[in-house]
């Protein structure tokens, strides 16, 4: 399968993105001491392309220098002798294929050196540049070494050439994204020791994330296959190509498309489109931007995506064949080097994960630069997916939120689903945010949602629970019947749904008026509830049903005929504000709430209405208090993070 070139043949073994984890493998590759094959890995189309020769390994000092020029470490003129100064003409600066007339802009919009590679400062292209001195190279080398946590020798040593030989993104490292508080020792923080239980928890989370991503991929595949025709896209002549100066997207709804005739040959069109949808979703799960596939053949998508090689599409960068640069973004478009070997598999150790590379490049379109944190998706070097999945790091999440702000919106219901683990007999809970037909499971200890959220409610819950009005958890020992009642209920319209917390099925449903009858009162519990909450405090022990301005207190005594409503009051009378300002007049809880949420992790009772949140200052699970006092605490997205819709509304 490999092109016979004696000593190099063994180099052809795999996609060589030797992460920091496999440096010995690299040494073996570099010296041609081992060989292997790509057996067992076939592309989804059934055709397995042979592994080409990687001409992009860095071995010599000269190649080191070229690398530093190419990826933005040198702003001096890289390819001139240090002894003479020479004015560069556009013909010399641009690759031979460059045609100034084909660009709508002046040549300084796109600068490249004589090999077609980008210069850090495009404006230098038609100025007389200062040639690089030896000390410029040493400074640049040291900067590179520091960025990639290598010993800072200032020499083009083996650590450095090894790092430079890895597959990477074409975006230069000119600007590195750092958040406040992140320092150069951040790598050490990432690798801090974790306890065994942390690791077990993390492993369980990874498993769930993997499962969810696979489900999502399958869902996208099914949806795309159901479409009658694939969206047509006209390959563009890239008139809008200038240079990589995009500072992120200005829109909240962004379209994308795979360019016709520029698809990857070894993966089916459906799979490529599914993978792209997933890659966009990594970001839309954490910011208020959504992405959809462009299906109008008469207009351009916001993001055009293509697999190309060498000089392509009037792009100011060119690809370098197998190895080296694997992808880049230009303006808001994504270009993938079709000489690379991609796979749709999420855990391939031999080929490039198309998902991972696409998600990284989308990060650039969104305005992110590279990060030096190895666990960041925005690390420039391609790392294989050691654990078979990847997720945005905390750095990525915070960085992208700093550009786009948090997501907002109202919820149907927010609740902790508390249940007894039948194996350990321990009480445990998960926090859920329900909105229309989708749900997020919140990880309180990580302060984020579960990877892959939101999911459709009917994925894990009974399908009747879409668009619920509210949830209620009632749990109490009833002395008259000597029985512990532990009821999980959902309400919708005039119906209630009694839910089995272990089997996840609706055990019983009926009318609210049957479940909570009004024996001797002038009012009954209304339909279309806003919220419900069981005040479990010893001195209260009442269910509150909320509807509009009113709250209905109900003394629920299952198995007894002595139950009924005790009162109906204005919400503000039962839950007075701490101060008049706490009513928060622009969106006051006085006129109704979306949900009343007791958070077991924060040990607080909250009212949520739209984006606004109040906390009950007098509510405590272990006090004798029975009153309420509501204090306005701000927006929910400052208490719970990354709760975003992910998909564009239909
Ligand atoms: Zn990049
Ligand atoms: Zn390009």
**Alpha-carbon dihedral sign for residues 95, 97, 101, 102:** negative
- Annotation-wise, does 573 bind a ligand? no
Tell me the per-residue pLDDT of 311-362, one tens digit each, with 9 for 90 and over. 998 898 999 999 999 999 998 999 999 999 999 887 777 889 999 999 999 9
Q: Picking from 27-41, 211-225, 289-303, 629-643, which range would have the lowest pLDDT averaged per residue? A: 27-41
Within 8 A by CB and 6+ apart from 586, the residues are none
Give me ligand 1 centre to Cα 301, in Å.
Answer: 21
Provide the pLDDT confidence category of residue 48 given band limits of 50, 70 and 90. Answer: low
Residue 422 has a pLDDT of 83
Q: Is 87's pLDDT higher than 80? A: no
Q: Is 245's pLDDT higher than 70? A: no
Q: Is 114's pLDDT higher than 90? A: no
Residue 357 has a pLDDT of 95
Q: Which of 642, 170, 303 is nearest to 442 (CA)?
A: 642
Within 8 A by CB and 6+ apart from 200, the residues are none
Q: Which residue has the higher pLDDT, 38 or 549?
A: 549
Report the percentage of the chain scoring pLDDT > 90: 51
- Annotation-wise, does 262 bind a ligand? no
Q: Is 4's pLDDT higher than 70? A: no
Residue 481 has a pLDDT of 79
- Which of the ligands is closest to the CA of residue 112? 2
Q: Which residue has the higher pLDDT, 498 or 96?
A: 498
Residue 354 CA to residue 276 CA, distance in Å, equals: 8
- Annotation-wise, does 378 bind a ligand? yes
Q: What is the DSSP letter of 571?
A: H
Give me ligand 2 centre to Cα 338, in Å.
Answer: 11
Average pLDDT over residues 553-560: 84
Residue 137 has a pLDDT of 92
Give me ligand 1 centre to Cα 157, in Å.
Answer: 24
Tell me the per-residue pLDDT of 527-554, one tens digit each, with 9 for 90 and over. 999 999 999 988 888 999 999 999 999 9
Kindly report the CA angle at 603 between 598 and 609, in degrees rounded to 5? 40
Provide the pLDDT confidence category of residue 261 given band limits of 50, 70 and 90. Answer: confident
Q: Is 166's pLDDT higher than 70? A: yes
- Annotation-wise, does 335 bind a ligand? yes
- Annotation-wise, does 164 bind a ligand? no
Average pLDDT over residues 295-306: 88
Give me ligand 1 centre to Cα 173, in Å.
Answer: 8
Residue 500 has a pLDDT of 93
Mean pLDDT over each residue of the chain, to the nearest integer: 80
Residue 523 has a pLDDT of 79
Give me ligand 1 centre to Cα 259, in Å.
Answer: 21
- Which of the ligands is closest to the CA of residue 338? 2
Residues with CB under 5 A from ligand 2 (ion): 315, 330, 335
Residue 520 has a pLDDT of 66
Query: Out of 270, 361, 384, 590, which one is annotated catalytic?
Result: 361
Q: Is 238's pLDDT higher than 80? A: no
Q: What domains appear along the chain, each with residue ranges and CATH number?
A: 6-166 (no CATH), 196-404 (3.40.390.10), 413-638 (2.110.10.10)
Residues with CB under 5 A from ligand 1 (ion): 169, 171
- Cβ atoms of 546 and 532 within 8 Å: the answer is yes
Q: What is the DSSP letter of 185?
A: T
- Annotation-wise, does 453 bind a ligand? no
- Which of the ligands is closest to the CA of residue 369? 1
- Residue 619 tokens read as 């509510």
Average pLDDT over residues 374-398: 84
Q: Picking from 248-252, 299-303, 490-494, which range would have the lowest pLDDT averaged per residue? A: 248-252
Residue 233 has a pLDDT of 54
Which spans in 416-483 are helix H?
A: 457-460
- Cβ atoms of 325 and 315 within 8 Å: the answer is no
Give me ligand 2 centre to Cα 51, in Å.
Answer: 22
Is 325 labeled as catalytic in the residue annotation?
Answer: no
Residue 219 CA to residue 214 CA, distance in Å, equals: 9
Tell me the per-residue pLDDT of 462-503, one tens digit each, with 9 for 90 and over. 889 999 999 999 998 887 778 889 999 999 999 999 999 988
Give me ligand 2 centre to Cα 401, in Å.
Answer: 27
Tell me the per-residue pLDDT of 507-519, one tens digit each, with 9 for 90 and over. 999 999 989 988 7
- Which of the ligands is closest to the CA of residue 331? 2
- Annotation-wise, does 358 bind a ligand? no
- Annotation-wise, does 360 bind a ligand? yes
Residue 135 CA to residue 86 CA, distance in Å, equals: 20
Give me ligand 2 centre to Cα 319, in Å.
Answer: 7
Q: Is 263's pLDDT higher than 60? A: yes
Residue 421 has a pLDDT of 85
Residue 385 has a pLDDT of 66
Residue 147 belongs to what H/E stretch?
A: helix 134-147
- Cβ atoms of 45 and 266 within 8 Å: the answer is yes
ipTM, two decimals, is: 0.99
- Which of the ligands is closest to the CA of residue 379? 1
Q: Is 559's pLDDT higher than 80? A: no
Q: Which of 470, 469, 441 is nearest to 457 (CA)?
A: 441
Provide the pLDDT confidence category of residue 246 given band limits of 50, 70 and 90. Answer: low
Residue 281 has a pLDDT of 95
Q: Which of 130, 95, 246 is nearest to 107 (CA)?
A: 95
Residue 458 CA to residue 439 CA, distance in Å, equals: 9
Report the chain's C-alpha Rg in angstroms: 30
Provide the pLDDT confidence category of residue 387 given band limits of 50, 70 and 90. Answer: low
- Cβ atoms of 236 and 304 within 8 Å: the answer is yes
Q: What is the DSSP letter of 176?
A: B
Q: Which residue has the higher pLDDT, 637 or 425?
A: 637
Other Cβ atoms closer than 10 A to 139: 16
């Amino acid at each position: 399968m490999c092109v016979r070139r004696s000593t190099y043949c063994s180099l052809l073994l795999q996609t060589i993105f030797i992460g920091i984890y496999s440096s010995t493998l690299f040494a073996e590759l570099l010296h041609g001491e081992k060989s292997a094959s790509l057996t067992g890995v076939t592309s989804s189309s059934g055709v397995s392309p042979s592994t080409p020769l990687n001409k992009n390994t860095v071995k010599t000092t000269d190649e080191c220098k070229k690398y530093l020029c190419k990826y933005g470490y040198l702003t001096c003129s890289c390819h001139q002798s240090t002894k003479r100064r020479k004015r560069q003409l556009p013909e010399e600066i641009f690759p031979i294929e460059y045609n100034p007339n084909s660009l709508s802009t002046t040549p300084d919009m796109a600068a490249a050196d004589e090999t077609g590679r980008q210069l850090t400062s495009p404006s230098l292209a038609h100025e007389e540049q200062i040639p690089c001195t030896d000390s410029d190279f040493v400074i640049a080398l040291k900067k590179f070494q520091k960025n990639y946590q290598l010993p800072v020798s200032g020499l083009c040593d083996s650590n450095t050439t090894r790092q430079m030989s890895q597959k990477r993104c074409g975006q230069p490292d000119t600007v590195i994204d750092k958040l406040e508080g992140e320092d150069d020792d951040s790598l050490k923080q990432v690798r801090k020791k974790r306890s065994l239980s942390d690791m077990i928890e993390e492993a369980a989370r990874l498993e769930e994330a993997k499962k969810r991503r696979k489900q999502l991929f399958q869902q996208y595949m099914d949806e795309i296959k159901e479409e009658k025709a694939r969206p047509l896209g006209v390959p563009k002549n890239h008139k809008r190509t200038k240079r990589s100066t995009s500072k992120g997207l200005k829109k909240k709804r962004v379209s994308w498309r795979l360019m016709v005739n520029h698809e990857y040959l070894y993966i089916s069109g459906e799979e490529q489109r599914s993978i792209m949808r997933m890659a966009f979703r990594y970001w839309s799960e954490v910011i208020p931007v959504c992405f959809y596939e462009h299906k109008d053949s008469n207009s351009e998508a916001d993001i055009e995506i293509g697999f190309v090689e060498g000089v392509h599409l009037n792009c100011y960068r060119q690809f370098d064949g197998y190895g080296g640069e694997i992808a880049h973004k230009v303006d808001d478009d994504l270009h993938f080097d079709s000489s690379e070997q991609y796979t749709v598999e999420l855990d391939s150790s031999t080929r490039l994960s198309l998902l991972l590379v696409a998600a990284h490049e989308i990060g650039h379109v969104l305005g992110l630069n590279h990060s030096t944190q190895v666990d960041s998706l925005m690390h420039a070097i391609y790392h294989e997916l050691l654990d078979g999945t990847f997720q945005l790091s905390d750095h990525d999440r915070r960085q992208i939120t700093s550009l786009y702000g948090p997501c907002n919106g109202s919820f149907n219901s927010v609740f902790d689903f508390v249940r007894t683990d039948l194996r350990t007999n321990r009480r445990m809970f998960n926090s859920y945010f329900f909105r229309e037909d989708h749900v997020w499971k919140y990880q309180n200890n990580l302060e984020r949602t579960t990877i892959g959220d939101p999911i459709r409610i009917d994925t894990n819950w009974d399908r009747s629970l879409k668009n619920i009005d509210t949830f209620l958890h009632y749990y109490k020992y009833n002395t008259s019947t000597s029985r512990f009642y532990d009821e999980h209920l959902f309400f919708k319209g005039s119906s209630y749904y009694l839910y089995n917390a272990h089997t996840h099925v609706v055990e019983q449903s009926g009318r609210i008026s049957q479940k909570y009858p009004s024996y001797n009162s002038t009012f009954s519990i209304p339909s279309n509830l806003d919220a419900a909450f069981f005040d479990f405090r010893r001195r209260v022990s009442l269910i509150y049903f909320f509807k509009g301005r009113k709250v209905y207190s109900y003394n629920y005594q299952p198995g007894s005929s002595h139950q009924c409503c005790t009162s109906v009051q204005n919400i503000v009378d039962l839950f007075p504000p701490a101060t008049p300002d706490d009513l928060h007049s622009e969106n006051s809880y006085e006129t109704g709430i979306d949900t009343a949420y007791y958070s077991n992790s924060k040990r607080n009772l909250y009212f949520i209405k739209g984006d606004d949140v109040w906390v009950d200052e007098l509510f405590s699970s272990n006090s004798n208090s029975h009153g309420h006092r509501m204090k306005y605490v701000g927006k929910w997205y400052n208490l719970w993070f990354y709760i975003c819709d992910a998909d564009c509304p239909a």
